Amino acid sequence: MVAADNLQMSQGETPFDLSAYLQERQKLCEAALDGAIPVTYPEKIYEAMRYS
């Protein structure tokens, strides 16, 4: 393994925002789950199916 202490971002690049990336991915996953799993009652069964 080689240490890379001299790596720098070039000017104009924005740092990667992990929090924003994960929030966007969560929205996409939630939308896919909404479309794939029909709402059933009681809600606990629906929730268990959705997140299993």
Helices H / strands E in the chain, number of each: 2, 0
Q: What is the pLDDT of residue 9?
A: 64
Q: What does the pLDDT average to over 22-50?
A: 85
Q: Dihedral of CA 48/40/44/22: which sign?
A: positive
Percent of the chain clearing pLDDT 90 (strictly above): 29
pTM: 0.54
Q: Where along the chain do its domains lie?
A: 18-50
